[in-house]
C-alpha cells in the first residue's frame, strides 16, 4: 500500500513528527493479516442464519417445511428435532432413527459438534444461560463483500507507553454481551496512561492463545465512526515484573460481530470506557 494511503488524509505528514518506515510496514502487515483473519478464522463471514433459544424441544426444517420452529435457508422439508436441556443438547432425526449429542461451539476456541446439512453446517452455542443456533455456508464467506476495514489516519501519538500493574492472581470480570447475557473473562491487570490532561485506565483480559491479552475499550467515536460496541487492542503478555507496555491504538481492531449480526460480542466493561475520541485504528465497516 502506498505511504500516502496508509497515512490517510494527512497527505504523508504526521502531526506528531516523522514516521518510522519499519513501523508503517509492520502496521500494513497487521492490516493485511486482519483481512485474512476475518475471512477465514473460523469462517466468520459464512454465517447465514441464527437464533436464540431457551431449553425445550424445537422442530428444524428447511424452506419446504410447513411451520418449523427453526427454519434453515435450504430447499428441504422437515429435518428433525433439536432438544435443549439445561446443560445438554441433542439433535433427533425426523425418522427418530438417529440421535446426536451436540457439544456447544465455543467461538475461536472449540468448534463443537457440527452437523452437515445440505451445503452447510448446523450447530449450537451457549452464551451465559441462553442457547443459540447457527447455520453457516463456506460459499457465503467467499461471496461476502468484505475486503478490509477503513482506518483512521496513522498517528504516532496513539502509540502510548502505559504503566502496567499485574494483579497477584487473575480476577473474574463479568461483562454483558450484545444480546444482554453475562460473559466471564479473567482480568490479568490494568494499564494506566495520561492523555489530554487526564489519567486513563484499562483492564486487560486473557486470550485463549495464552501469550496475548486484550484491552476492550469504547470511546467517543463509538457509533460515530468506529464500531458501536467498542474495539479491542491486543498486546503481548507482559513478562514477570514488567512495569511498562505499549498500547498501540493504531492497531485498535473491531470485534468479530462487526461484520455479521449472527455473532455475539462482549460489550466494553464500564471501567474501560474512555472519555476521549480515539481517532485511530479500524473504523466501523459499512457495506458499499
pLDDT in tens, 240-258: 999 999 999 999 999 988 9
Question: 30: Cβ–Cβ under 8 A, 6 or more apart, which residues?
Answer: 251
117 with 166, same domain: the answer is: no
- Do 168 and 33 share a structural domain? yes
**Residues 83 and 222 occupy one common structural domain:** no
Segment 47-52 shows an average pLDDT of 93
Please check the confidence at residue 12 and state whether its pLDDT lies above 70: no
Q: Rounded distance, CA 246 to CA 110, Å? A: 30
For the chain, the domain total comes to 2
Which residue, of 143, 168, 201, is where some domain finishes? 143
Shared domain check, 240 and 203: yes
Residue 257 lies in a domain: yes
Is 81 part of a structural domain of the chain? yes
In a domain? residue 279: no
Residue 20: CB atoms within 10 Å: 12
pLDDT tens string 140-179: 888 888 889 999 999 999 999 999 999 999 999 999 988 8
Q: What's the pLDDT at 108? A: 60
Final residue belonging to a domain, choices 106, 123, 143 = 143
What sign does the CA torsion over 160, 154, 26, 287 have? positive
Which residue range forms the structural domain that includes residue 117?
44-143
Task: Kindly report the average pLDDT of the chain as a whole number.
Answer: 89
Whether residue 8 has pLDDT greater than 70: no
Task: Reply yes or no on whether the pLDDT at 19 is more than 90.
Answer: no
- Confirm whether 184 is domain-assigned: yes
Residues 185-224: tens digit of each pLDDT: 999 999 999 998 999 999 999 998 889 999 999 999 999 9
Give the model's confidence band at 42: pLDDT under 50 very low, under 70 low, under 90 confident, else very high.
low
Quick one: pLDDT at residue 17? 43
* Region 63-89 average pLDDT: 95
Residues 6+ apart with CB under 8 A from 25: none
**Beta carbons of 84 and 54 less than 8 angstroms apart:** yes
Q: Is 102 among the domain residues? A: yes
Strand order across the 212-217 sheet: 231-236, 212-217, 198-206, 182-195, 159-176, 244-248
Tens digit of pLDDT for each residue in 111-140? Answer: 889 999 999 999 999 877 789 999 999 888
Examine residue 278 and state whether it is found in any structural domain, yes or no: no
Q: Say if 237 falls within a structural domain.
A: yes
Whether 172 and 233 share a structural domain: yes
172 shares its domain with 201: yes
Strand-pair partners of 89: 84
Same domain, 32 and 170: yes
| Residue after which a domain boundary falls, among 85, 110, 143 | 143
Give the pLDDT mean for 78-96.
94
CA 144 → CA 43, 47, 223, distances in Å? 11, 10, 23
**Burial state string for 113-149 with b = 16 or more CB within 10 A and e = fewer than 16:** bbbebeebbbbbbbbeebbbbbbbbeebbeebebeeb
Q: Is residue 280 part of a domain?
A: no
Please tell me the least confidently modeled range out of 23-27, 109-113, 159-163, 182-186: 109-113
Which grid cell sits at 116?
452437515
Burial class of residue 8 in the structure, from the number of CB atoms within 10 Å of its CB (0-12 exposed, 13-18 middle, 19+ buried): middle
Using CA atoms of 138, 140, 142, 147 in order, give the dihedral in degrees to the nearest 10.
-130
Same domain as 260, residue 123: no
What mean pLDDT do residues 33-62 have?
A: 88
Instruction: Check whether residue 92 and residue 79 sit in a common domain.
Output: yes
User: In this model, does residue 5 exceed pLDDT 90?
Assistant: no
pLDDT the model gives residue 43: 66
What are the backbone angles phi and psi of residue 44, rounded to the nearest 5°?
Answer: -60, -30
Q: What is the pLDDT of residue 107?
A: 63
Do 152 and 267 lie in one domain? The reply is: yes
> For position 10, what pLDDT does the model report?
35
Same domain membership, residue 106 and residue 138? yes
Q: Could you tell me if 92 and 121 lie in one domain?
A: yes
* Close Cβ partners of 273 (under 8 Å, ≥ 6 residues apart): 217, 218, 219
Amino acid at each position: 500500500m502506498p505511504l500516502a494511503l496508509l497515512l490517510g488524509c494527512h497527505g504523508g505528514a504526521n502531526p506528531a513528527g516523522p514516521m518510522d518506515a519499519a513501523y508503517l510496514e509492520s502496521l500494513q502487515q497487521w492490516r493485511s493479516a486482519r483481512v485474512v483473519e476475518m475471512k477465514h478464522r473460523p469462517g466468520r463471514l459464512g454465517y447465514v442464519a441464527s437464533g436464540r433459544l431457551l431449553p425445550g424441544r424445537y422442530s428444524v426444517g428447511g424452506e419446504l417445511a410447513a411451520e418449523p420452529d427453526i427454519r434453515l435457508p435450504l430447499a428441504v422439508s422437515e429435518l428433525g428435532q433439536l432438544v435443549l436441556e439445561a446443560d445438554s443438547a441433542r439433535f433427533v432425526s425426523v425418522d427418530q432413527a438417529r440421535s446426536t449429542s451436540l457439544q456447544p461451539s465455543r467461538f475461536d476456541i472449540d468448534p463443537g459438534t457440527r452437523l452437515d446439512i445440505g451445503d452447510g453446517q448446523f450447530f449450537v452455542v451457549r452464551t451465559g444461560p441462553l442457547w443459540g443456533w447457527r447455520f453457516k455456508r463456506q460459499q457465503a464467506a467467499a461471496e461476502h463483500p468484505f475486503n478490509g476495514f477503513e482506518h483512521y489516519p496513522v498517528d504516532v501519538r496513539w502509540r502510548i507507553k502505559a504503566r502496567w500493574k499485574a494483579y497477584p492472581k487473575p480476577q473474574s470480570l463479568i461483562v454483558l454481551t450484545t444480546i444482554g447475557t453475562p460473559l466471564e473473562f479473567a482480568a490479568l491487570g490494568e494499564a494506566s496512561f495520561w492523555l489530554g490532561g487526564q489519567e486513563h485506565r484499562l483492564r486487560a483480559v486473557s486470550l485463549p492463545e495464552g501469550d496475548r491479552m486484550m484491552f476492550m475499550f469504547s470511546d467517543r467515536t463509538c457509533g460515530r465512526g468506529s464500531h458501536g460496541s467498542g474495539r479491542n487492542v491486543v498486546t503481548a503478555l507482559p513478562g514477570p515484573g514488567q512495569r511498562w507496555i505499549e498500547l498501540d491504538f493504531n492497531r485498535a481492531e473491531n470485534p468479530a460481530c462487526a461484520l455479521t449480526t449472527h455473532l455475539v460480542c462482549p460489550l466494553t466493561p464500564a471501567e474501560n470506557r474512555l472519555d476521549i475520541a480515539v481517532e485511530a485504528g479500524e473504523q466501523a465497516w459499512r457495506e458499499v
